[in-house]
Amino acid sequence: MVGTSSLGSAAVPSPDADDHVRGRGPVAIVYFDLACPRCAGTWAEIATLELELCVRHFPVASKRPRSPVLHAAAEAVAIQSEDAFWNFWDSLLADRAHVDDPHLWERVRDLGLDLDRFQSDRRSDAVAARVGRDFRSGIRAGVTATPSGFAAGERLGDDLAAALRDLSLQSR
Amino acid sequence: MIEPGTRAPALGLADQDGNTVALDDFAGRRLVIAFYPLDFSAVCTDQLSIYQEVLGEIESRDAALVGVSVDSSACHAAFREKIGLTFPLLADFHPKGAVSSAYGAYLEDRGHANRSLVLVDGDGTVRWSYATPTPLEVPGANLIFDALADA
């Protein structure tokens, strides 16, 4: 991901209209790698918490070569339907054994999406730029591992699931 | 930790292939040295993987990156292959920790380097250094880019 814009320190950006945000409650932002086992484990614990949860792409390609493909696929799904994006995202993290291309196509068909469009979108510059936007904001905010989370501009602790559980309980 | 403005101590360490790497090898370019505790440990793996992801951007800013730990060349070779690193890892193996110590980045009580970053300019002068308060804290790649922009 070579670019010319700054990668120097910057606060984590607040969720905007382009972000993927789900749920209601205190706002939390998480940086995830869809091919990361720790992310999958954490997701199972946080997906249904009472939070306004913003998920961002943080593919670590050198360590997990499949990761960029999965993030681009998720973003390509989002172009067709935000609801489908969440279904796809949940599904990839719930079943990491089925993430080859035929498995992705099956998910896309099951979601009633246009497979040809998915195939071209997932390789598009726009999708790469959208994934890269998240990755760069994570680097600038000092993300050094996945999953990482932020709330109220502050980095959450290493036990992200516990931190988000505490955050969700604060709203009650 | 070594202070900015100091002459950078010599490297003279074997890389993952057993080739000796010296500061002069980077003459004219800036060099980011990432001291880290140990190959294959979870936190170090995360740290170096993230640096790998932005390696192209470090290089596009006229800088090179090397990692240094007390592990041997053979261990470095296996570690690089396992997590897909392409930048050199240098073995501060014998005498153990000598170069890390010269940079003020060695933890005597633990027997490995502290997680530290050093930026050396093309003339061999230290321009910036950073040591984490504890080995569990990881310096983000953002700090490297801050230093490359400022130094």
pLDDT at B151 over 90: no
Q: Which of residues 9-38 of A touch B (CB under 8 A)?
A: 9-10
Q: Are B33 and B48 in contact (CB under 8 A)?
A: no
Residue B88 corresponds to which amino acid? P
Strands B106-107 and B89-91, sheet pairing: unpaired
Residues of B in contact with A63 (CB under 8 A): 45, 49, 52, 83-84
pLDDT in tens, A61-101: 999 999 999 999 999 999 999 999 999 999 999 999 999 99
Report CA-CA distances (Å) from A122 to A68, A115, B131. Answer: 10, 10, 40
Return the closest-CA partner of residue A136 out of A56, A53, A35.
A56
pLDDT at A122 over 70: yes
pLDDT at B52 over 60: yes
pLDDT in tens, B89-118: 999 999 999 999 999 999 999 999 999 999
Determine which of B39, B48, B49, B85 to mutate to test the interface with A (most A C-beta atoms within 10 Å): B49
What positions of B carry a catalytic annotation?
A: 44
Say which residue, A69 or B42, is predicted with more confidence: A69
Query: A9–B43: do the CB atoms touch at under 8 Å?
Result: no
Q: Would you state the torsion angle of the CA atoms of residues B77, B79, B85, B91, taken in this order, to the nearest 10 degrees?
A: -60
pTM for this prediction: 0.94
Give the up-direction half-sphere exposure of residue A111: CA atoms within 13 A in the CB hemisphere: 26
Quick check: helix, strand or coil at residue A105?
Answer: helix
**CA-based torsion, A33, A37, A43, A46: positive or negative:** negative
- How close B95 comes to chain A (CA, Å)? 31
Number of H helices, E strands in chain A: 7, 5
pLDDT in tens, A133-142: 999 999 999 9
Average pLDDT over residues A97-117: 98
pLDDT (0 to 100) of residue B43: 83
pLDDT in tens, B78-88: 999 999 999 99
Residue A74 corresponds to which amino acid? A
The rounded distance, in Å, linking the Cα atoms of A127 and A143 is: 21
Q: Is the minimum CB–CB distance between B83 and chain A shorter than 8 Å?
A: yes
